[in-house]
Chain A
Amino acid sequence: DVKVTQSSRYLVKRTGEKVFLECVQDMDHENMFWYRQDPGLGLRLIYFSYDVKMKEKGDIPEGYSVSREKKERFSLILESASTNQTSMYLCASSLTHNEQFFGPGTRLTVL
């Protein structure tokens, strides 16, 4: 079974802090994604990566950056957390263009 893990289930940070969200997948997938999920808005793509050190902006990249130094790991970075970044963050990976495998999510609260 594909497994996607995320470093924390719940995280509380203060405004202005630098925040790292880590995601690891164990199935050698090329593609990895970061989404945020907010009520009524569905899942919105922040960034994705199709290979090591390769990244592309998604629909809402402002205020975020990413890092993919190894194939299995994709990190989301909030350079200076703000209250409007309070959300559920979901990481996913895929081998093909259709099925994505999601991690359990990190619920981030920025105070």
Chain B
Amino acid sequence: GQSLEQPSEVTAVEGAIVQINCTYQTSGFYGLSWYQQHDGGAPTFLSYNALDGLEETGRFSSFLSRSDSYGYLLLQELQMKDSASYFCAVSRSSNTGKLIFGQGTTLQVKP
């Protein structure tokens, strides 16, 4: 089967660093994406990794290890507005853009 595993909930305090892990088992892998979704809002794209290593975009970084079928999203200097759900998603094709999404991790940032 095809599956992505990520923790269902994570809690952290403002200013801290949090890591959200994602392990995947899929037939076909082209890359790993991360999306953020605030309550009542639409998912928005955060990052994409096709190659092993760390990609940094401001306070957010994303890591991929293809050999371990594992990736993570790292959020630094947490702010209250980072409270949201975070989804990892695997690209199964290079041209159609089909994604398989994980179940999502709800991040609660406390003061």
Interfacial residues, chain A to chain B (CB-CB below 8 A): 4, 31, 33, 35, 40-45, 48, 50, 56, 58-59, 90, 92, 94, 96-105
1/0 per residue, CB under 8 A from A, across B67-111: the answer is: 000000000000000000001010101111111111110000000
CA distance A56 to B87 in the complex (A): 23
Interface of B is mostly: loop
CA distance A99 to B89 in the complex (A): 10
Q: In the bound complex, do residue A101 and residue B97 qualify as a contact, i.e. CB atoms below 8 Å apart? A: no
CA distance A97 to B8 in the complex (A): 26
Contacts of B43 on A, CB cut-off 8 Å?
A: 43, 90, 92, 100, 102
Give A99's nearest chain B residue, CB to CB. B45
- The minimal Cβ–Cβ distance linking A103 to chain B, given in whole angstroms, is 6
Contacts of B99 on A, CB cut-off 8 Å?
A: 33, 45, 100
Assuming the contacts A43-B43, A44-B101, asked whether A99 and B33 have C-beta atoms less than 8 A apart, the reply is yes
Give A51's nearest chain B residue, CB to CB. B96
Assuming the contacts A42-B103, A97-B30, asked whether A48 and B42 have C-beta atoms less than 8 A apart, the reply is no
Interface of A is mostly: strand
For chain B, give the interface size range.
Answer: 20 to 34
Q: In the bound complex, do residue A98 and residue B97 qualify as a contact, i.e. CB atoms below 8 Å apart? A: yes
- The minimal Cβ–Cβ distance linking B65 to chain A, given in whole angstroms, is 18
- The minimal Cβ–Cβ distance linking A97 to chain B, given in whole angstroms, is 5
CA distance A44 to B31 in the complex (A): 18
- The minimal Cβ–Cβ distance linking A107 to chain B, given in whole angstroms, is 9
Judged by a CB distance under 8 angstroms, whether B48 is at the interface is: yes
CA distance A43 to B97 in the complex (A): 15
- The minimal Cβ–Cβ distance linking A39 to chain B, given in whole angstroms, is 9
Judged by a CB distance under 8 angstroms, whether B44 is at the interface is: yes
CA distance A44 to B101 in the complex (A): 7
Q: In the bound complex, do residue B48 and residue A42 qualify as a contact, i.e. CB atoms below 8 Å apart? A: no
Give B33's nearest chain A residue, CB to CB. A98
Q: Can you pick out 13 interface pairs between chain A and chain B where the beta carbons lie within 8 Å of each other?
A: A31-B96, A31-B97, A41-B103, A43-B43, A43-B87, A45-B98, A45-B100, A48-B96, A50-B95, A50-B97, A58-B98, A99-B45, A100-B45
